[in-house]
Structure 1
Amino acid sequence: MSGDSEEKIIKFLQSEDPALRKMGLSLTTGVGLPASCNVDLFAISFFDPEPSNRVTASGIISKSFPEIFGELKKGWDNYPPNTRNESKKFDPYQMDYDFQVENFMQDFHKLSAESGLDVCEVSLRGYNLLKGGVEQISDSHKDLVGGFVKFLGTEKYQPAKQMMIDIYKQFGDNGPGREVILIIHNFEGEDIVELLVEGLLNKKYFISNSIDDTAKQLVKIGSENIAAKLAEALSDRGGSRILYGGVPLTRDVLWCLGKLGHCCALEPLVNFCSLNLIKLGLDGWESLSASAYALAELSHCDEDLSSELLFEMVDHRSEWVVESAVYALGMIGSERSIPKIEDIIAGKRGKGHSRTFGW
């Protein structure tokens, strides 16, 4: 086959139009199949939304890789997955749960190890087929896409980065977007940092009693630029954007800055807490407790600055804030904090507090 003919076939196979893909499949019939077509043929045979294309592609590529197809079908027959059409017939496109898609791709990956086939690229091509040239993935394809996210994230397949960004922008914390959050630290680049920082600052909380996964992923990435962006949000217009997000967002940003441990965050954090959370009495004990631990974790930057704010917290009206501040002072381990801690032990908490809290 000439280079021009091969290029033409690949162009058809990668088309967003199912009719053109069908034409590309017809061009492969009766000719020596170039290896460059294998990825596209596997992607079409497994994940093309057009059923007739899947059947045709399977008939072509199974002749070149009979052992791989045989083992995948055997595994399917032994443990039939849930399918959207409730059929037990081998048809990966119909798989109904993202973990089943992930397991299928992992098995495919292992079986293809010696063939030189790039199964990660098959997944990426499969995603493009499901997307079909439109801006958003349809609801019927969410679990297939979620499986691709899990598989490609585990493999740290860098060419899939834009796919991850697009999925997160569409779904946010829901469906496959949540799977993106859990693996996105495996991908590199400032666009990933920007995506996660904005995702955290714009988050709408439904469960507020635990640190959000986006904040955890930012900590895993760990770059100073993340700390700088979050610190800027603390300083910009008095931190109004963070305060507007409520207690969970405030808590998560402060927690994140402490865990990141970059010194650029200490002064903005101190100013934010001092002006908003203490003097104005905003956002209650949970945010201040988070700030106490963050101050301890940032005390290596300026122990005195961290300790001074913690000393203020020791006199706070909330027993939870006092407890967090004392614990944070213990983490720092400065002799300066001993008199304050002795006052707590003696019940002299200041501002009218007594022993009734059980200190």
Structure 2
Amino acid sequence: MTQRLPPSLTPLEIALAALLNGLEPLAPVELPLAAAAGCIAAGAPLLAAHPPHDIATADGWAVCANDLVGASSYSPLPLTKAPPWVEAGEAMPAGCDCVLDADAVEMSGPLVQVLAEGVPGQGVRRAGSDIAERMPAGLEGDPVGAADLLLARVAGLDKLGVRRPRLRIVNVPGATATMDMIAGIAHAAGLAVETRQAGARDQASIADMLDASSCDLLLTVGGSGVGRRDAAVMALARRGEVLAHGLALQPGRTAAVGRLGRIPVVALPGSPDHALAAWLALVVPLIDHLSARWPRRHVTLPLARKIASGVGIAEMALLSLEHQAWMPLAVGEWPLQAMARADAWLLVPASHEGFAAGTPVGAYLVRE
């Protein structure tokens, strides 16, 4: 028996709606800071003010600026005793609001003279200036970035609350390079990724690997087409439910969506361009839904050149940023070099014939 596409292709929006139907965002979990990078923040704790008091940011003399008005090398200001010396990172003494350089105070025996004025806040980090009181450790619904991790570490946290989908990828022999690409993208997006290798390309071997336990999303890579050695969709039908096979999407036409119990499944084609397009059009929205992520930012710029598209099929375009405009690199068919050069991607709806040159379009960044 050979896989076959249905007589009519399923519109992308219908396939995506079927995939998302009944799915709820995942419950937050607490992860060590290193593991939380890239995950979507959820239930982040409120931090205490930092620093808790004024601290010196430079080595020098701690003084009060108002006490030094008019001091200069031509008109030294005598003091009855030397001001306190502070090292960078130390708490500022009471009544001091600035730090003078070492050579701004001259000491000769019992005589102490100040040779420069001070400015309030000079060489000082104010209490709460790094972290405001009750500031969240990461914004709910946004990815946890390096700056969020820095704040958490400075505040003394060792864990953060996040939503982190668990992704299982089943590789069909012959699609390893594509699987490695998808796994790398998923790792960078903060997902917990597990990869498995089917023993062969036949239906039974693939079906044996379709285990939905301990994962929130399952992907197969390869074997979704209609070749004589393609059996991933039949394997999915054998173990679960196929919701749609054959999408009105280019690249990505032979992708399929389904369920194993309550776990969503996406069968990605083995070709890198078709797999990446299906990942962007189907898997990314699914991950964002499970993670309760805020809508992704898109960048609107005019097209440097027109994009022509056929009505009835949603076409994916790869774009590069050139002179504050989007330059189309590839539409519908994606050479590997276009995938490597792309800065953004754009979905041309099935109802559109494309966009004229100069039309402002909102594209999603490949690397956020």
Q: TM-score, normalised by structure 2?
A: 0.22
Give 1 or 2 for the bigger CA radius of gyration.
Answer: 2
The structure richer in helix per residue is 1
The structure richer in strand per residue is 2
Q: TM-score, normalised by structure 1?
A: 0.22
